[in-house]
A = this chain, B = another copy of it.
Amino acid sequence: MAPITDSYGSRRDRDAAIITRKEPVVYSDLDGVEDVDMRSKLEYFKVNGYVVIEDLFTEDEVELLRSEVQSLAEKDEIKGLDETVLEPGSNNVSSIFKVHTISETVDHLARDERLLNMARSILGSDVYLHQSRANLKPGFREKEFYWHSDFETWHVEDGMPRMRAASCSVLLTDNNETNGPLMVMPGSQSYFISCVGETPNASYKKSTKKQKYGVPDDDSLRFLAEQCGIKPVIAKAGSVVFFDCNTMHGSNSNISPLPRSNLFFAYNSIKNAIKEPKYGLTPRPEYVATREPFNALRARQSDGLA
């Protein structure tokens, strides 16, 4: 059994529950933020649990990142890595985990001041990368990704103590209304949905393709959708979406011929380093959830990504 002190118990043998968030959403003191643009983004994030920063990267930078990801995905030695997820029944790469340790360009991106300043401002501290990932989605037969809170998984499976992490998606292709864009429930970061059912060990192997545990129940989702609405994130390549670790999000399938790809970084506060997984679960591999060392990311001047 989980200790009684766990504010965010989930996947235990009991009914679903909606639990009020205990922590701040933005950890910086907003009154102390002098940059007007940054402050307005943080205020939006605080209320909505996400923010879109349009055209944060130039077309040339996007092209550099896209070709870097494409070239990684074509290498046989990358396809053979544990870090790499192939599409079911094909030899095509759909995700590469811990990609910032494989590609210097992606490492530069993760430490680019444009991203790092935002992550630090949200989390009010130095940050480290809990997870990084390149995602390639070719369109046509791309399945939905069901509603989930990243924090629910990170809390239960990785032992992340508190809601003090932010996910960041750097769009390498346009997200429009027909190619299965990210959908968020604005404001849902304030509600923790405790999920029904227990997690068998090693669920991560499947959950990176399709979430199977930590699935919110219909009544809670209906409640959240009524409270918060559902917002598709429509944005051009080069835009960046930050969303709170507990924001309810998902995406519909993509039958359009328009591919989608992105680079995903999960920034965690160094004050929120992960501990043991809950309920005696075996820790997930290092490339899914970094355990050590929890060194603060060092910023890199924005003189490009190369």
Contacts and interface: CB of A to CB of B under 8 A. Distances in A.
Interface in A141-157: 141, 143-144, 146-147
Interface in A232-251: 232, 250-251
B257 A218 contact: yes
Contacts of A105: none
A148 B232 CA distance: 25
Interface stretch (A92-100, A123-131, A177-185, A296-304): A177-185
Contacts of A143: 253
A253 B144 contact: yes
Interface string A250-263: 11111111100000
A147 B141 CA distance: 10
Contacts of A177: 177, 232
Contacts of A256: 183, 225, 230
Interface residues of A, number: 26
A212 to B, nearest CB: 13
B253 A221 contact: no
Contact of A225 (B183, B231, B258): B258
Contacts of A231: 178
Q: In the complex this chain forms, how many copies of it are found? A: 2
Contacts of A232: 177-178
A226 to B, nearest CB: 8
A250 B255 contact: yes
For A250, A251, A253, the residue with the greatest tally of chain B CB atoms inside 10 Å of its CB is: A253
Given A180-B252, A232-B177, A222 B144 contact: no
A142 to B, nearest CB: 9
Interface string A72-109: 00000000000000000000000000000000000000
A91 to B, nearest CB: 16
A95 to B, nearest CB: 20
A82 to B, nearest CB: 29
B250 A252 contact: no
Interface string A159-197: 000000000000000000110100100000000000000
B140 A230 contact: no
A250 B253 CA distance: 12
For A250, A257, A258, the residue with the greatest tally of chain B CB atoms inside 10 Å of its CB is: A257
For A141, A218, A255, the residue with the greatest tally of chain B CB atoms inside 10 Å of its CB is: A255
A216 B250 CA distance: 28
Given A177-B232, A230-B178, A221 B183 contact: no
27 contacts: A140-B218, A140-B221, A141-B146, A143-B253, A144-B144, A144-B253, A144-B255, A147-B255, A177-B177, A177-B232, A178-B183, A178-B230, A178-B231, A178-B232, A180-B252, A183-B255, A183-B256, A222-B257, A225-B256, A225-B257, A225-B258, A230-B256, A230-B258, A250-B255, A252-B252, A252-B253, A252-B255
